[in-house]
Amino acid sequence: MKEVIEKQIKEFGLPVMTDEKSGALQWLDLRELNLRYIISIENIKPFFEGLKEGKLLTTKCKHCGRIFFPPQRDCPSCRISDMEWVELSREGTLETLTVIFVKPPSFGSYDPYTVAIAKLDDGPRITAWLKGDPRKAKPGMRVRLEISKREKEGYMMYELVPVE
Amino acid sequence: MSENVAIIGVGHSKFGDRRDVNVPELAWESIKPALDSANVDQKDIDFFVLGNAGIWSSEAALPALMAEYADLSPKGSMRVEAACATGNAAIRVGYTAIKSGEADVVLILGIEKMRESQNPTVIELIGRFGSFFWEFENFGLTFPGYYALHATAYMVKYGASEEDFARVAVKNHYYGAKNPYAQFQKEVTLEKVMEPKYVAWPFKLFDCSPITDGSAAIILASEEFAKDAENKIWIHSQGVGTGTANLSKREDFTSLESARYAAEIAYKKAGIDVDAPYKYLDGANVHDCFTAPEIMAYEDLRFAKKGGGVKLIRDEQTYIGGLIPVNIDGGLKAKGHPIGATGVSQAVEAYKQLLSQAEPGRQADIEKGRWLAHNVGGTGHYTYVTIYGLEKLKR
Protein backbone atom coordinates (compact mmCIF):
# COMPACT_ATOMS: atom_id res chain seq x y z
CA MET A 1 0.00 0.00 0.00
CA LYS A 2 2.82 2.41 0.90
CA GLU A 3 4.36 2.06 -2.55
CA VAL A 4 0.97 2.60 -4.18
CA ILE A 5 0.45 5.81 -2.20
CA GLU A 6 3.91 7.11 -3.10
CA LYS A 7 3.29 6.34 -6.76
CA GLN A 8 -0.08 8.08 -6.75
CA ILE A 9 1.34 11.19 -5.07
CA LYS A 10 4.15 11.29 -7.62
CA GLU A 11 1.72 10.93 -10.50
CA PHE A 12 -1.24 13.04 -9.37
CA GLY A 13 0.17 15.24 -6.65
CA LEU A 14 -2.34 13.74 -4.19
CA PRO A 15 -2.79 10.36 -2.42
CA VAL A 16 -5.91 9.59 -4.47
CA MET A 17 -6.94 6.64 -6.59
CA THR A 18 -9.97 5.59 -8.61
CA ASP A 19 -11.53 2.37 -7.30
CA GLU A 20 -11.52 -0.13 -10.17
CA LYS A 21 -14.89 -1.68 -9.45
CA SER A 22 -16.99 1.39 -8.72
CA GLY A 23 -15.01 4.06 -10.52
CA ALA A 24 -15.31 6.20 -7.38
CA LEU A 25 -12.40 8.38 -6.31
CA GLN A 26 -10.76 7.36 -3.01
CA TRP A 27 -8.37 9.19 -0.66
CA LEU A 28 -5.62 6.83 0.56
CA ASP A 29 -5.04 7.54 4.26
CA LEU A 30 -1.45 8.51 5.03
CA ARG A 31 -1.76 8.03 8.80
CA GLU A 32 -1.31 4.28 9.18
CA LEU A 33 -2.12 2.90 12.64
CA ASN A 34 0.06 0.21 14.15
CA LEU A 35 -1.87 -1.24 17.09
CA ARG A 36 -0.22 -3.44 19.71
CA TYR A 37 -1.60 -3.83 23.23
CA ILE A 38 0.45 -4.20 26.39
CA ILE A 39 -1.67 -6.24 28.80
CA SER A 40 -1.05 -6.64 32.54
CA ILE A 41 -0.67 -10.26 33.66
CA GLU A 42 0.78 -9.31 37.05
CA ASN A 43 -2.06 -10.87 39.07
CA ILE A 44 -2.11 -14.14 37.14
CA LYS A 45 1.67 -14.42 36.94
CA PRO A 46 1.80 -18.03 38.29
CA PHE A 47 -0.09 -19.19 35.20
CA PHE A 48 2.72 -17.96 32.95
CA GLU A 49 5.49 -19.16 35.26
CA GLY A 50 3.79 -22.57 35.30
CA LEU A 51 3.57 -22.61 31.51
CA LYS A 52 7.35 -22.15 31.30
CA GLU A 53 7.83 -25.13 33.65
CA GLY A 54 5.39 -27.31 31.75
CA LYS A 55 2.56 -26.92 34.28
CA LEU A 56 -1.00 -25.71 33.72
CA LEU A 57 -2.11 -23.75 36.76
CA THR A 58 -5.32 -21.95 37.46
CA THR A 59 -7.03 -20.21 40.38
CA LYS A 60 -9.31 -21.78 42.98
CA CYS A 61 -11.14 -19.71 45.58
CA LYS A 62 -9.88 -20.65 49.06
CA HIS A 63 -13.31 -19.91 50.54
CA CYS A 64 -15.89 -21.45 48.20
CA GLY A 65 -13.67 -23.79 46.19
CA ARG A 66 -14.78 -22.45 42.82
CA ILE A 67 -12.23 -23.16 40.08
CA PHE A 68 -11.71 -20.52 37.43
CA PHE A 69 -10.30 -20.98 33.98
CA PRO A 70 -9.08 -18.63 32.60
CA PRO A 71 -7.50 -17.80 35.97
CA GLN A 72 -8.70 -14.64 37.69
CA ARG A 73 -7.72 -12.72 40.80
CA ASP A 74 -11.15 -12.06 42.23
CA CYS A 75 -13.95 -14.42 43.27
CA PRO A 76 -17.27 -12.76 42.43
CA SER A 77 -19.26 -15.33 44.47
CA CYS A 78 -17.44 -14.62 47.76
CA ARG A 79 -16.26 -11.12 46.80
CA ILE A 80 -12.98 -12.14 48.38
CA SER A 81 -9.71 -12.05 46.46
CA ASP A 82 -7.96 -14.97 48.07
CA MET A 83 -7.07 -17.61 45.51
CA GLU A 84 -4.84 -20.63 45.58
CA TRP A 85 -3.12 -21.94 42.47
CA VAL A 86 -4.04 -25.49 41.50
CA GLU A 87 -3.07 -27.70 38.57
CA LEU A 88 -5.69 -28.24 35.89
CA SER A 89 -6.65 -31.76 35.00
CA ARG A 90 -4.68 -32.68 31.89
CA GLU A 91 -7.33 -34.87 30.32
CA GLY A 92 -10.80 -34.24 29.08
CA THR A 93 -13.37 -34.71 26.33
CA LEU A 94 -13.51 -32.82 23.06
CA GLU A 95 -16.76 -30.88 22.71
CA THR A 96 -16.41 -29.03 19.42
CA LEU A 97 -13.93 -27.87 16.80
CA THR A 98 -13.41 -25.76 13.68
CA VAL A 99 -10.59 -25.39 11.18
CA ILE A 100 -9.61 -21.81 10.41
CA PHE A 101 -8.83 -21.49 6.70
CA VAL A 102 -9.31 -17.73 6.27
CA LYS A 103 -6.86 -16.48 8.91
CA PRO A 104 -6.30 -13.08 10.47
CA PRO A 105 -3.17 -11.56 8.87
CA SER A 106 -1.41 -11.80 12.24
CA PHE A 107 -1.70 -15.62 11.96
CA GLY A 108 -0.62 -15.59 8.32
CA SER A 109 2.53 -17.64 8.90
CA TYR A 110 0.56 -20.67 10.14
CA ASP A 111 -1.11 -23.34 8.02
CA PRO A 112 -4.86 -23.72 8.56
CA TYR A 113 -5.24 -24.55 12.24
CA THR A 114 -7.85 -26.40 14.28
CA VAL A 115 -9.42 -24.62 17.25
CA ALA A 116 -11.30 -26.81 19.70
CA ILE A 117 -13.09 -26.63 23.04
CA ALA A 118 -12.67 -29.48 25.52
CA LYS A 119 -14.26 -30.13 28.90
CA LEU A 120 -11.57 -31.12 31.37
CA ASP A 121 -12.23 -33.93 33.82
CA ASP A 122 -12.16 -31.56 36.79
CA GLY A 123 -14.80 -29.28 35.32
CA PRO A 124 -13.48 -26.25 33.45
CA ARG A 125 -13.62 -26.02 29.68
CA ILE A 126 -10.65 -24.85 27.66
CA THR A 127 -10.22 -23.40 24.18
CA ALA A 128 -6.99 -24.35 22.38
CA TRP A 129 -5.51 -25.56 19.13
CA LEU A 130 -6.03 -29.25 18.47
CA LYS A 131 -3.01 -31.15 17.18
CA GLY A 132 -3.26 -33.61 14.32
CA ASP A 133 -5.56 -34.25 11.39
CA PRO A 134 -8.93 -32.58 12.09
CA ARG A 135 -10.68 -35.09 9.81
CA LYS A 136 -9.87 -37.76 12.38
CA ALA A 137 -11.12 -35.67 15.31
CA LYS A 138 -14.67 -35.93 16.59
CA PRO A 139 -16.53 -34.38 19.50
CA GLY A 140 -16.73 -36.93 22.28
CA MET A 141 -13.15 -38.16 21.79
CA ARG A 142 -10.64 -38.05 24.63
CA VAL A 143 -7.97 -35.37 24.53
CA ARG A 144 -4.93 -34.45 26.59
CA LEU A 145 -3.60 -30.97 27.37
CA GLU A 146 0.06 -30.52 26.52
CA ILE A 147 2.43 -27.61 26.58
CA SER A 148 4.57 -27.06 23.56
CA LYS A 149 6.52 -24.41 21.76
CA ARG A 150 4.71 -22.63 18.95
CA GLU A 151 6.94 -23.44 16.00
CA LYS A 152 6.62 -20.12 14.16
CA GLU A 153 6.70 -17.70 17.07
CA GLY A 154 8.74 -19.76 19.54
CA TYR A 155 6.68 -19.18 22.70
CA MET A 156 5.18 -21.73 25.09
CA MET A 157 1.45 -22.39 24.83
CA TYR A 158 -0.92 -25.20 25.69
CA GLU A 159 -2.60 -27.35 23.06
CA LEU A 160 -5.04 -30.25 22.90
CA VAL A 161 -3.74 -33.58 21.67
CA PRO A 162 -5.93 -36.59 20.81
CA VAL A 163 -5.46 -39.51 23.21
CA GLU A 164 -4.51 -42.55 21.14
CA MET B 1 -43.49 9.44 30.46
CA SER B 2 -44.83 7.44 27.57
CA GLU B 3 -45.95 3.87 28.13
CA ASN B 4 -45.93 3.20 24.41
CA VAL B 5 -43.22 4.07 21.90
CA ALA B 6 -43.83 4.24 18.15
CA ILE B 7 -41.67 4.14 15.05
CA ILE B 8 -43.07 6.97 12.93
CA GLY B 9 -40.53 7.03 10.11
CA VAL B 10 -37.77 4.93 8.56
CA GLY B 11 -34.90 5.19 6.12
CA HIS B 12 -32.50 2.68 4.61
CA SER B 13 -29.46 3.08 2.38
CA LYS B 14 -28.49 0.62 -0.30
CA PHE B 15 -26.25 -1.95 1.41
CA GLY B 16 -23.07 -3.17 -0.24
CA ASP B 17 -19.66 -1.97 -1.31
CA ARG B 18 -20.30 1.75 -1.01
CA ARG B 19 -17.00 3.29 -2.06
CA ASP B 20 -19.09 5.92 -3.87
CA VAL B 21 -19.90 7.75 -0.60
CA ASN B 22 -18.22 8.83 2.64
CA VAL B 23 -19.56 8.20 6.15
CA PRO B 24 -21.91 11.22 6.57
CA GLU B 25 -23.22 10.86 3.01
CA LEU B 26 -24.04 7.21 3.67
CA ALA B 27 -25.79 8.22 6.92
CA TRP B 28 -27.80 10.94 5.17
CA GLU B 29 -29.16 8.35 2.72
CA SER B 30 -31.19 6.91 5.60
CA ILE B 31 -31.62 10.01 7.82
CA LYS B 32 -33.36 12.00 5.08
CA PRO B 33 -36.05 9.41 4.24
CA ALA B 34 -36.55 8.78 7.97
CA LEU B 35 -37.22 12.48 8.64
CA ASP B 36 -39.36 12.74 5.50
CA SER B 37 -41.52 9.68 6.21
CA ALA B 38 -41.99 10.72 9.86
CA ASN B 39 -42.83 14.24 8.70
CA VAL B 40 -40.61 15.75 11.39
CA ASP B 41 -38.03 18.48 11.32
CA GLN B 42 -34.57 18.34 12.88
CA LYS B 43 -35.79 20.75 15.57
CA ASP B 44 -38.36 18.15 16.67
CA ILE B 45 -35.62 15.64 17.54
CA ASP B 46 -34.88 15.69 21.29
CA PHE B 47 -32.04 13.19 21.25
CA PHE B 48 -30.23 11.02 18.73
CA VAL B 49 -28.47 7.72 19.15
CA LEU B 50 -25.81 6.49 16.81
CA GLY B 51 -25.01 2.79 16.58
CA ASN B 52 -21.53 2.21 15.17
CA ALA B 53 -18.93 -0.40 16.02
CA GLY B 54 -16.19 1.40 14.13
CA ILE B 55 -12.40 0.96 14.19
CA TRP B 56 -12.35 -0.05 10.51
CA SER B 57 -13.67 3.34 9.45
CA SER B 58 -11.96 6.68 9.78
CA GLU B 59 -14.43 8.86 11.65
CA ALA B 60 -14.68 8.28 15.42
CA ALA B 61 -16.73 11.24 16.71
CA LEU B 62 -19.74 10.16 14.72
CA PRO B 63 -22.57 11.82 16.69
CA ALA B 64 -20.73 15.15 16.41
CA LEU B 65 -20.06 14.60 12.74
CA MET B 66 -23.74 13.90 12.12
CA ALA B 67 -24.82 16.85 14.27
CA GLU B 68 -22.74 18.99 11.93
CA TYR B 69 -23.72 17.33 8.64
CA ALA B 70 -27.42 16.81 9.32
CA ASP B 71 -28.19 19.96 11.35
CA LEU B 72 -28.80 18.15 14.64
CA SER B 73 -26.62 20.35 16.85
CA PRO B 74 -26.94 21.14 19.81
CA LYS B 75 -29.29 18.22 20.64
CA GLY B 76 -28.09 15.48 22.95
CA SER B 77 -26.59 12.32 21.50
CA MET B 78 -24.83 9.08 22.30
CA ARG B 79 -22.76 6.56 20.37
CA VAL B 80 -23.56 2.94 21.21
CA GLU B 81 -21.56 -0.23 20.62
CA ALA B 82 -22.68 -3.83 21.19
CA ALA B 83 -20.74 -5.64 18.46
CA CYS B 84 -23.17 -6.92 15.81
CA ALA B 85 -26.15 -6.01 18.05
CA THR B 86 -25.10 -2.35 18.04
CA GLY B 87 -28.17 -1.32 16.02
CA ASN B 88 -30.74 -2.79 18.36
CA ALA B 89 -28.74 -1.50 21.34
CA ALA B 90 -29.11 2.00 19.87
CA ILE B 91 -32.86 1.42 19.63
CA ARG B 92 -32.82 0.30 23.26
CA VAL B 93 -31.38 3.65 24.35
CA GLY B 94 -33.99 5.64 22.43
CA TYR B 95 -36.84 3.39 23.55
CA THR B 96 -35.98 3.71 27.23
CA ALA B 97 -35.36 7.47 26.89
CA ILE B 98 -38.91 7.96 25.61
CA LYS B 99 -40.44 5.52 28.09
CA SER B 100 -38.79 7.36 30.96
CA GLY B 101 -40.02 10.73 29.74
CA GLU B 102 -36.57 12.13 29.02
CA ALA B 103 -37.38 12.56 25.33
CA ASP B 104 -40.39 12.63 22.99
CA VAL B 105 -38.71 12.16 19.63
CA VAL B 106 -35.47 10.25 19.12
CA LEU B 107 -33.57 9.61 15.90
CA ILE B 108 -31.77 6.27 15.78
CA LEU B 109 -29.05 5.85 13.19
CA GLY B 110 -27.12 2.65 12.62
CA ILE B 111 -24.14 2.95 10.32
CA GLU B 112 -21.05 1.01 9.38
CA LYS B 113 -18.51 1.63 6.68
CA MET B 114 -16.42 -1.51 6.90
CA ARG B 115 -14.89 -1.15 3.47
CA GLU B 116 -12.83 1.86 4.46
CA SER B 117 -10.39 -0.82 5.62
CA GLN B 118 -9.00 -3.63 3.52
CA ASN B 119 -10.55 -7.08 3.99
CA PRO B 120 -7.61 -8.69 5.90
CA THR B 121 -7.71 -5.81 8.40
CA VAL B 122 -11.45 -6.32 8.92
CA ILE B 123 -10.89 -10.07 9.46
CA GLU B 124 -8.18 -9.22 11.99
CA LEU B 125 -10.43 -6.80 13.88
CA ILE B 126 -13.65 -8.80 13.83
CA GLY B 127 -11.92 -11.88 15.26
CA ARG B 128 -11.47 -9.89 18.45
CA PHE B 129 -15.22 -9.83 19.29
CA GLY B 130 -14.73 -12.54 21.90
CA SER B 131 -12.11 -12.94 24.63
CA PHE B 132 -9.11 -11.08 23.27
CA PHE B 133 -6.43 -12.95 25.17
CA TRP B 134 -7.79 -16.47 25.66
CA GLU B 135 -9.38 -16.90 22.25
CA PHE B 136 -7.91 -14.47 19.75
CA GLU B 137 -4.34 -13.63 20.77
CA ASN B 138 -3.21 -17.22 21.21
CA PHE B 139 -5.62 -19.27 19.11
CA GLY B 140 -6.51 -16.97 16.22
CA LEU B 141 -10.25 -17.45 16.31
CA THR B 142 -12.09 -15.55 13.61
CA PHE B 143 -15.69 -14.41 13.58
CA PRO B 144 -16.77 -17.31 11.33
CA GLY B 145 -14.69 -19.55 13.63
CA TYR B 146 -16.68 -18.72 16.77
CA TYR B 147 -19.95 -19.65 15.08
CA ALA B 148 -18.37 -22.64 13.31
CA LEU B 149 -17.66 -24.09 16.78
CA HIS B 150 -21.42 -23.93 17.33
CA ALA B 151 -22.23 -25.35 13.90
CA THR B 152 -20.00 -28.40 14.54
CA ALA B 153 -21.60 -29.05 17.92
CA TYR B 154 -25.06 -28.70 16.38
CA MET B 155 -24.26 -31.14 13.56
CA VAL B 156 -22.95 -33.73 15.98
CA LYS B 157 -25.80 -33.41 18.47
CA TYR B 158 -28.74 -33.22 16.07
CA GLY B 159 -27.49 -34.90 12.90
CA ALA B 160 -27.64 -31.75 10.75
CA SER B 161 -25.45 -31.54 7.66
CA GLU B 162 -23.56 -28.84 5.80
CA GLU B 163 -26.31 -29.11 3.19
CA ASP B 164 -28.93 -28.24 5.81
CA PHE B 165 -27.01 -25.07 6.62
CA ALA B 166 -26.75 -24.31 2.90
CA ARG B 167 -30.54 -24.26 2.65
CA VAL B 168 -30.58 -21.14 4.82
CA ALA B 169 -28.32 -19.35 2.32
CA VAL B 170 -30.54 -20.46 -0.56
CA LYS B 171 -33.65 -19.07 1.16
CA ASN B 172 -32.07 -15.79 2.17
CA HIS B 173 -30.60 -15.17 -1.27
CA TYR B 174 -34.01 -16.00 -2.76
CA TYR B 175 -35.51 -13.09 -0.82
CA GLY B 176 -32.44 -10.88 -1.11
CA ALA B 177 -32.94 -11.02 -4.86
CA LYS B 178 -36.28 -9.26 -4.31
CA ASN B 179 -34.87 -6.55 -2.03
CA PRO B 180 -33.50 -3.51 -3.92
CA TYR B 181 -31.50 -2.47 -0.82
CA ALA B 182 -29.68 -5.81 -0.52
CA GLN B 183 -25.97 -6.28 -1.19
CA PHE B 184 -26.59 -9.52 -3.11
CA GLN B 185 -29.68 -9.37 -5.29
CA LYS B 186 -29.03 -12.75 -6.81
CA GLU B 187 -30.43 -16.19 -6.06
CA VAL B 188 -28.00 -19.02 -5.40
CA THR B 189 -28.34 -22.77 -5.87
CA LEU B 190 -27.63 -25.37 -3.22
CA GLU B 191 -24.72 -26.61 -5.36
CA LYS B 192 -23.19 -23.13 -5.43
CA VAL B 193 -23.40 -22.79 -1.63
CA MET B 194 -21.87 -26.26 -1.25
CA GLU B 195 -18.73 -25.39 -3.27
CA PRO B 196 -15.91 -26.34 -0.90
CA LYS B 197 -14.44 -22.88 -0.40
CA TYR B 198 -13.91 -23.28 3.33
CA VAL B 199 -13.62 -20.19 5.51
CA ALA B 200 -13.87 -21.90 8.92
CA TRP B 201 -14.96 -25.53 8.63
CA PRO B 202 -17.86 -26.38 8.36
CA PHE B 203 -18.58 -22.90 6.96
CA LYS B 204 -17.88 -22.15 3.35
CA LEU B 205 -17.92 -18.80 1.59
CA PHE B 206 -21.69 -18.81 1.03
CA ASP B 207 -22.44 -19.70 4.66
CA CYS B 208 -21.07 -16.29 5.66
CA SER B 209 -22.58 -12.82 5.63
CA PRO B 210 -20.46 -10.34 3.71
CA ILE B 211 -18.43 -7.29 4.73
CA THR B 212 -20.84 -4.44 4.11
CA ASP B 213 -21.24 -0.67 4.08
CA GLY B 214 -24.68 0.62 4.94
CA SER B 215 -26.93 2.71 7.13
CA ALA B 216 -30.48 2.57 8.46
CA ALA B 217 -32.46 5.08 10.49
CA ILE B 218 -35.75 5.19 12.39
CA ILE B 219 -37.61 7.93 14.23
CA LEU B 220 -39.01 6.89 17.61
CA ALA B 221 -41.79 8.93 19.20
CA SER B 222 -43.86 9.06 22.35
CA GLU B 223 -47.54 8.14 22.20
CA GLU B 224 -48.52 11.79 22.42
CA PHE B 225 -46.23 12.86 19.58
CA ALA B 226 -47.12 9.83 17.45
CA LYS B 227 -50.87 10.33 17.59
CA ASP B 228 -50.97 12.32 14.35
CA ALA B 229 -48.46 10.15 12.49
CA GLU B 230 -50.04 8.58 9.45
CA ASN B 231 -47.82 5.51 9.25
CA LYS B 232 -46.49 3.99 12.42
CA ILE B 233 -45.76 0.78 14.26
CA TRP B 234 -45.16 0.24 17.97
CA ILE B 235 -42.45 -1.37 20.04
CA HIS B 236 -44.33 -3.94 22.12
CA SER B 237 -41.38 -5.18 24.13
CA GLN B 238 -37.66 -5.75 24.28
CA GLY B 239 -35.55 -8.36 25.97
CA VAL B 240 -31.79 -8.06 26.34
CA GLY B 241 -29.31 -10.76 27.36
CA THR B 242 -25.55 -10.97 27.85
CA GLY B 243 -23.30 -14.01 27.52
CA THR B 244 -19.76 -14.73 28.72
CA ALA B 245 -16.77 -13.44 26.75
CA ASN B 246 -15.10 -16.86 26.54
CA LEU B 247 -17.12 -19.54 24.76
CA SER B 248 -15.36 -22.03 27.07
CA LYS B 249 -17.34 -20.56 29.98
CA ARG B 250 -20.59 -21.82 28.46
CA GLU B 251 -22.36 -25.11 29.01
CA ASP B 252 -23.44 -25.82 25.46
CA PHE B 253 -22.66 -24.82 21.87
CA THR B 254 -25.93 -25.64 20.15
CA SER B 255 -27.80 -22.65 21.52
CA LEU B 256 -27.15 -19.12 22.81
CA GLU B 257 -28.20 -18.57 26.39
CA SER B 258 -28.41 -14.78 26.00
CA ALA B 259 -30.86 -15.27 23.13
CA ARG B 260 -33.08 -17.65 25.08
CA TYR B 261 -33.08 -15.21 27.99
CA ALA B 262 -33.82 -12.15 25.83
CA ALA B 263 -36.63 -13.98 23.99
CA GLU B 264 -38.28 -15.09 27.19
CA ILE B 265 -38.34 -11.54 28.54
CA ALA B 266 -39.61 -10.06 25.27
CA TYR B 267 -42.37 -12.69 24.99
CA LYS B 268 -43.44 -12.25 28.58
CA LYS B 269 -43.67 -8.47 28.33
CA ALA B 270 -45.66 -8.71 25.11
CA GLY B 271 -48.04 -11.38 26.42
CA ILE B 272 -46.81 -13.99 23.93
CA ASP B 273 -47.00 -17.70 24.75
CA VAL B 274 -43.37 -18.84 24.95
CA ASP B 275 -44.34 -22.33 23.84
CA ALA B 276 -45.87 -21.23 20.55
CA PRO B 277 -44.68 -17.70 19.74
CA TYR B 278 -45.16 -18.21 15.98
CA LYS B 279 -48.91 -18.13 16.60
CA TYR B 280 -48.56 -14.48 17.55
CA LEU B 281 -46.12 -13.38 14.84
CA ASP B 282 -46.44 -12.71 11.11
CA GLY B 283 -42.71 -13.10 10.63
CA ALA B 284 -39.26 -12.52 12.04
CA ASN B 285 -35.81 -11.23 11.29
CA VAL B 286 -33.15 -13.32 12.97
CA HIS B 287 -29.41 -12.81 13.16
CA ASP B 288 -28.09 -14.99 10.33
CA CYS B 289 -24.52 -13.71 10.27
CA PHE B 290 -23.85 -17.30 9.20
CA THR B 291 -26.25 -20.01 8.08
CA ALA B 292 -26.18 -22.27 11.16
CA PRO B 293 -27.02 -19.45 13.62
CA GLU B 294 -30.32 -18.89 11.82
CA ILE B 295 -31.26 -22.49 12.65
CA MET B 296 -30.10 -22.02 16.25
CA ALA B 297 -32.22 -18.86 16.41
CA TYR B 298 -35.36 -20.82 15.43
CA GLU B 299 -34.81 -22.86 18.58
CA ASP B 300 -33.67 -20.07 20.90
CA LEU B 301 -36.80 -18.15 19.87
CA ARG B 302 -38.92 -21.28 20.36
CA PHE B 303 -40.17 -21.50 16.77
CA ALA B 304 -38.99 -25.11 17.10
CA LYS B 305 -37.95 -27.41 19.92
CA LYS B 306 -34.25 -28.06 20.52
CA GLY B 307 -32.91 -29.97 17.52
CA GLY B 308 -36.07 -29.21 15.56
CA GLY B 309 -34.78 -26.06 13.86
CA VAL B 310 -33.11 -28.01 11.11
CA LYS B 311 -36.44 -29.58 10.16
CA LEU B 312 -37.99 -26.12 9.75
CA ILE B 313 -35.49 -25.20 7.04
CA ARG B 314 -35.61 -28.65 5.39
CA ASP B 315 -39.41 -28.37 5.17
CA GLU B 316 -39.22 -24.75 3.94
CA GLN B 317 -41.31 -23.63 6.91
CA THR B 318 -39.53 -20.27 7.14
CA TYR B 319 -40.43 -19.18 3.62
CA ILE B 320 -43.56 -17.02 3.09
CA GLY B 321 -46.53 -19.35 3.52
CA GLY B 322 -44.71 -21.57 6.04
CA LEU B 323 -44.98 -21.72 9.82
CA ILE B 324 -43.22 -18.35 10.15
CA PRO B 325 -41.42 -16.39 7.42
CA VAL B 326 -37.86 -15.55 8.49
CA ASN B 327 -35.43 -13.07 6.93
CA ILE B 328 -37.55 -12.35 3.90
CA ASP B 329 -35.49 -9.22 3.28
CA GLY B 330 -32.48 -11.44 2.54
CA GLY B 331 -31.22 -11.46 6.13
CA LEU B 332 -27.67 -10.54 7.00
CA LYS B 333 -26.60 -13.26 4.59
CA ALA B 334 -27.85 -11.64 1.35
CA LYS B 335 -28.91 -8.14 2.41
CA GLY B 336 -25.48 -7.60 3.98
CA HIS B 337 -24.28 -7.01 7.51
CA PRO B 338 -23.03 -3.48 8.18
CA ILE B 339 -22.50 -4.23 11.90
CA GLY B 340 -23.98 -1.06 13.47
CA ALA B 341 -26.80 -0.75 10.94
CA THR B 342 -28.13 -4.33 11.08
CA GLY B 343 -30.39 -3.99 14.14
CA VAL B 344 -31.88 -0.75 12.81
CA SER B 345 -32.34 -2.35 9.39
CA GLN B 346 -34.36 -5.10 11.09
CA ALA B 347 -36.63 -2.41 12.59
CA VAL B 348 -37.06 -0.84 9.15
CA GLU B 349 -38.06 -4.26 7.85
CA ALA B 350 -40.60 -4.72 10.68
CA TYR B 351 -42.10 -1.33 9.76
CA LYS B 352 -42.30 -2.19 6.06
CA GLN B 353 -43.73 -5.66 6.64
CA LEU B 354 -46.34 -4.63 9.21
CA LEU B 355 -47.48 -1.70 7.05
CA SER B 356 -47.46 -3.97 3.97
CA GLN B 357 -44.90 -1.80 2.20
CA ALA B 358 -42.41 -4.54 1.31
CA GLU B 359 -41.40 -5.04 -2.32
CA PRO B 360 -43.31 -7.51 -4.54
CA GLY B 361 -42.58 -11.15 -3.84
CA ARG B 362 -41.35 -10.60 -0.30
CA GLN B 363 -44.39 -9.24 1.54
CA ALA B 364 -45.67 -11.52 4.31
CA ASP B 365 -49.38 -11.81 5.05
CA ILE B 366 -50.05 -9.50 7.95
CA GLU B 367 -52.81 -11.06 10.03
CA LYS B 368 -51.55 -11.11 13.58
CA GLY B 369 -49.92 -7.68 13.34
CA ARG B 370 -46.65 -8.55 15.06
CA TRP B 371 -43.06 -8.95 13.92
CA LEU B 372 -39.97 -10.10 15.80
CA ALA B 373 -36.36 -8.94 15.48
CA HIS B 374 -33.47 -10.96 16.94
CA ASN B 375 -30.11 -9.17 16.87
CA VAL B 376 -27.02 -10.88 18.28
CA GLY B 377 -23.70 -9.24 19.10
CA GLY B 378 -20.60 -11.41 18.97
CA THR B 379 -21.46 -15.09 19.43
CA GLY B 380 -24.32 -14.59 21.86
CA HIS B 381 -22.28 -12.08 23.80
CA TYR B 382 -25.30 -9.80 23.55
CA THR B 383 -28.79 -10.54 22.30
CA TYR B 384 -31.62 -8.08 21.75
CA VAL B 385 -35.08 -9.42 20.96
CA THR B 386 -37.65 -6.79 20.02
CA ILE B 387 -41.33 -7.33 19.28
CA TYR B 388 -42.96 -4.79 16.97
CA GLY B 389 -46.73 -4.38 16.55
CA LEU B 390 -49.07 -2.68 14.12
CA GLU B 391 -51.38 -1.64 16.94
CA LYS B 392 -50.53 -0.45 20.42
CA LEU B 393 -49.92 -3.28 22.89
CA LYS B 394 -53.10 -4.24 24.69
CA ARG B 395 -52.14 -4.43 28.33
> Does B198 contact A99 at a Cβ distance shorter than 8 Å?
yes
For chain B, give the mean pLDDT.
Answer: 97
Q: Give me the residues paired with residue B214 across strands.
A: B112
Residues above pLDDT 90, as percent of chain B: 98
Q: Do A101 and B200 touch (CB under 8 A)?
A: yes
pLDDT at A31: 95
What is the reported pLDDT for A151?
86
> Which residue ranges form the domains of chain A, and what is each CATH number?
1-35 (no CATH), 41-88 (no CATH), 90-164 (2.40.50)
pLDDT in tens, B297-325: 999 999 999 999 999 999 999 999 999 99
pLDDT at B196: 95
| pLDDT band at residue B18 under the 50/70/90 scheme | very high
Picking from A100, A120, A131 by the largest number of B CB atoms within 10 A of its own CB, the best residue to mutate is: A100
Give me the residues of A, 98-117, that contact B with CB < 8 A: 98-107, 110, 113, 115, 117
* pLDDT tens per residue, range B142-196: 999 999 999 999 999 999 999 999 999 999 999 999 999 999 999 999 999 999 9
Q: How far is A147 from A35, CA to CA, in rounded Å?
A: 28
| Catalytic residue selected from B150, B173, B236, B337 | B337
Can B84 be counted among the known catalytic residues? yes
The CA distance from A10 to the nearest CA of chain B, in Å, is: 23
pLDDT at B395 over 90: no
* Residue B325 near residue B183, CB atoms below 8 Å: no
Q: Is A24 on the interface with B (CB under 8 A)?
A: yes
Q: Write out residues 193-212 of B within 8 Å (CB-CB) of A.
A: 198-203
**Non-local CB neighbours of A147 within 8 Å, separated by 6+ positions:** A51, A54, A55, A56, A156, A157, A158, A159
pLDDT at A164: 79
What's the average model confidence in pLDDT over B61-90?
Answer: 98
Residue spans per domain, chain B: 5-118+211-226
**Catalytic site includes residue B337:** yes
Q: How confident is the model at residue A120 (pLDDT cuts 50, 70, 90)?
A: very high
* A139 near B CB under 8 A: yes
Q: Which residue of B has its CA nearest to A70?
A: B134
- Spatial separation of the C-alpha atoms in residues A51 and A157, rounded to whole Å: 7
pLDDT of residue A66: 96
pLDDT tens digits, A88-113: 999 999 999 999 999 999 999 999 99
**A12 Cβ contact partners less than 8 Å away, ≥ 6 residues apart:** none
Superfamily for domain range B5-118+211-226:
Thiolase/Chalcone synthase (3.40.47.10)
User: What pLDDT sits at residue B12?
Assistant: 98
Q: Is the ipTM of this complex over 0.85?
A: yes
Contact at CB, A102 and B201, closer than 8 angstroms: no
Portion of chain B with pLDDT greater than 70, in percent: 100
pLDDT per residue as tens digits for the range B53-70: 999 999 999 999 999 999
| Residue in B14, B19, B203, B290 to test binding to A, most A beta-carbons within 10 Å | B19
Is the pLDDT at A43 greater than 90? The verdict is yes
